Amino acid sequence: MIYLSFILILNFGIAGFFDSEKKVYKTFDLIETNVLSESKLDDSRWSGGPGFEEIAELISWKTNIDINIIGDPNAIKGDTLKFLAGDIFPNTLRAFGKETRSQLNSLIESMVYEPLLNFDAETFKLEPVLATHWRVLDDSMTFLFRINPEARFSDGREVTSRDVVATYDILTDEGHGDPNVYTYWRDKFERPVAESKYIVSVKSKKKEWRNIYSFSSLVIYPSYYLEKIDGSTYVEKYQFELMPGSGPYILNTKRTTQENNGLAVLDRRSDYWAESHVRNTGLWNFDTVEFIFINDETQEVERFFAGDYDTYSVGRAQWWSQRFVAEEYPEIESGLIQRKKYINFAPAGVGGIAFNTLEEPFSDIKVREAFCHLWDVEKLMDKLFFNEYVRKNSYFPRSKYEHPDNPIQDYNPDYALELLEEAGWTKKEGDSWLTNETGEIFEIKEFHIYQGWDRILNYFVQDLESIGIKLNLVVIQNPFEMAMNRKFKLYNGGWVGSLLPSPEGMLHSKYSEKLDVTNITGMANPKIDKLIEEYNLNWNMEERIGILQNLDSLATREYHWIFSWTAPYGYRCLNWDKFGIPDNGVGYAGGWLAPISMWWIDPDKKERLKDAIKSGNKIPIEPEVVDYWNNLNKK
C-alpha cells in the first residue's frame, strides 16, 4: 500500500469560409508538432496505460461494467435512413461558436464525436465512453479521467489527455463568438491538466456534484487540429468541414450541399474503434443517414407520403386524431405506413398557470389552492387535445423525483368555493361575482397571454366565471418578459425538464423577490431551502432522489402553480413499414431523434413493403401504442 501511495503522489502530485455559395468544404490544417509532445507524457500502466484496468480499483478509481443496453442485439446494419431534420439547412455544421443554434448541430456532433462518459437516463449511472475510469478526489472538486488507450479518431490517431485540454481551450476562447459556451466552461472549471498520456485532471471552481456530469459530457476534439489556432480562426476556417471524431460517423463532404434546400449526409465508419463495445450493442445501424430540409408544412406531408423520407413526427393532436388516419390515407389503411406512439419517461418540467404570490389575491394560500381546483383540464383533454396528453402533478412530472402523494388538482368548484369563503370571498344573493368585505369584486384585470392561447384559456375564463370570478385575457407580444419583471398576477408558461434537476433557481427563497429569475412565483419556504442545500451537497444519487421527492411534496402544497399537461410519449410518428425497432421503441427518455441511433432497416420488411406497393396487398397493422415500461398505468 505504501508503494501504491508513492505511485499516486508521483502521478498526481505534480501538476468557412466559402469557395462558393454552393459547396463549402475545406481540408483541415493538420498540426504535426505542438508545445507538449506526447513522447513526454507517461503512458505506463500506473499512469493509465494498458494494464491500468487491473489496478484501478486498488487505487480508488471507478468504472461501470454493468452497461444498460438500449439497442437490440438483433439489429441489422446497413442501408440508408432519410430523415427530416428541419425547415432550412443550418448556417454552419459546427457544434459551437456563433450561429450554432440549430438542433442539427448538436445531433451531428453526437454522431461524429464522443464524450468522456455517458449518463444513462434509466439507471442514473455514469457509463464509460472515451474514458474507462474516473475518480473524484477528497476535495469533491477535482475529477480525474482515464482515456481508453484503444480510442481512436477517424484518421487513426489516438485520443489522449492532450485532446481534452485542447477541447477546453477552444471552448473557452471568446473568439468563437458564443458567450454561452465560453462563459459556461470558463466559469465552471479550471483549465484541465494532462497528468499523463491517458489521464487528465480538472478542478471545479465550485463544489457541486453536477460538475462531474457536466465535464464528463464534454465531447472531445483532436488537439493536433486545435493547438495552433484560436476561436476566431476556427470559426472562419471550419464552417462546413468537421475535424476527425472518435464517433461512429463521418460527414460526407462530397454529398453534403446547400442546393435544393440542403442535404447533410453522414456515413457510418467501417473502422470505428468502439464498434464491438457493449455500449454500442444494436446502435448506429444505418450505413448512411441523409438529413433533408423542407420549409413548407404542406410539402413536409406530401413528400413524406411520396416516400422522400422515412419517418414523420406528428406534432399536432388534431392531426394525429383526425387527419393522419386510415379513413383519410390509403397508405395507412393498407399498413404501408404505420402509426406509432412510443410512451416513455422523456423529462418534462413544471408548467401551467403560475401565481405571483407576492401580490394579492394570490398571497393567500387558500385562494391559490382554490384556483388549483377551478381549471377543468380534463375538459380540455377531451375537447381540444383528443386525450393525447396527461395531467402534470409535480415540479418534476412523471420522473423519479415526483412524490407519489402530491395533492391532486382535480376540478372541484364546490371545494374551491369553501376555500374562497374562508379567504373572505363570498357571493351575495342576486350577485354575479364574488366580493370581499369591502364590496370589491373578485377580478383579475389582466392575464397576459400569447396570441392563439385564448382558444385554450377561454375555457378557464368560463370555469372561473361559473363560480363568480372575472378573468380578463389580454394578448400581448411577450408575456414572458412581463413575468421576468414580476408584472403579472397569473402567467401561463413553464420550464423545461431535466434528468438532473437544479431546483435552486426556481424554488430557493434567495430568488423569491428578484427579477429575471426562474422563481417567478415568489417561493420562500425555509424547509425547501434546507432541502435544496442538502441536495446540492449530496453525492449519492438515490439519496438525492429522495430529497427531491420530499421537496416536491412541500412545494406542491404551497400551490404556486395550477399544473397543466404533458405528452406521455417520447415520439409520436408515422413510419414507412420497413424499420426494425427495439422493444423499448425510443428508449427510456428518447425523443424524435432516437430512431437515428436505435432503429434499422429490416431487409425483409423493406422487400415486403416494395411488393405491397406494387401489388396493392395489405400489410398487417401493428399495435399503435408502445408502452414498454407500462408508463400509462403509473401515476
What structural domains and CATH numbers belong to the chain?
2-67+86-250 (3.40.190.10), 296-345+568-633 (no CATH), 351-566 (3.10.105.10)
What integer pLDDT is reported at residue 344 of this predicted model? 94
pTM comes to 0.84
552: Cα within 13 Å, side-chain hemisphere = 26
Residue 41 Cα distances to 162, 164, 194, 508, 566, angstroms: 9, 14, 8, 46, 52
In the numeric block, which cell numbers belong to residue 428?
Answer: 351575495
Q: pLDDT at position 25, please?
A: 32
| pLDDT given for residue 572 in this prediction | 97
Nearest by Cα to 352 from 519, 493, 522: 493
Q: Could you tell me how far CA 288 lies from the centroid of its own chain?
A: 25
Q: What confidence score (pLDDT) does residue 360 get?
A: 96
CA distance 188 to 385: 42
Q: Do the beta carbons of residue 347 and residue 386 sit within 8 Å?
A: no
d(C-alpha 200, C-alpha 388), whole Å:
48
Q: Find out whether the peptide bond into 361 is cis, omega within 30 degrees of 0.
A: yes
pLDDT along the chain (635 residues), means of 10: 33 34 36 46 88 94 97 98 92 82 85 97 96 96 98 97 97 89 92 97 94 96 91 85 96 93 96 97 98 94 97 94 97 98 93 97 98 96 92 94 96 98 94 95 96 94 97 94 94 92 94 92 98 93 96 98 94 98 96 96 98 96 94 62
d(CA 468, CA 436): 12
Give the number of other Cβ atoms within 10 Å of residue 220's Cβ: 27
**How many residues does this entry show for the chain?**
635
Give the number of other CB atoms < 10 A from CB of residue 49.
16
Instruction: Name the strand (E) or helix (H) holding 251.
Output: strand 249-251
The DSSP secondary-structure symbol of 321 reads I
Q: In the prediction, which pLDDT does 510 show?
A: 93
**Location of C-alpha cell 435512413:** 81
pLDDT attached to residue 227:
87
With residues binned 3-state (H G I as helix, E B as strand, rest as coil), the percentages for the chain, rounded to 5, are: 30, 20, 50
Do 165 and 215 touch, CB atoms closer than 8 A?
no
Strand partners, 193: 201
Q: State how far the Cα of 134 lies from the Cα of 583, in Å rounded to an integer.
A: 32
Which of these, 160, 107, 23, lies nearest to 593 by C-alpha position? 107
Q: What angle, rounded to 10 degrees, do the helices at 541-556 and 526-537 form?
A: 160
Bridge partner residues of 145 (DSSP): 134, 200
pLDDT for the residue 196: 96
- pLDDT of the residue at 231: 87
What letter does residue 407 receive in the DSSP assignment? P
**What pLDDT shows up at residue 38?**
52
Ramachandran area for residue 424 (φ above 0: left; ψ -120 to 50: alpha; else beta): left
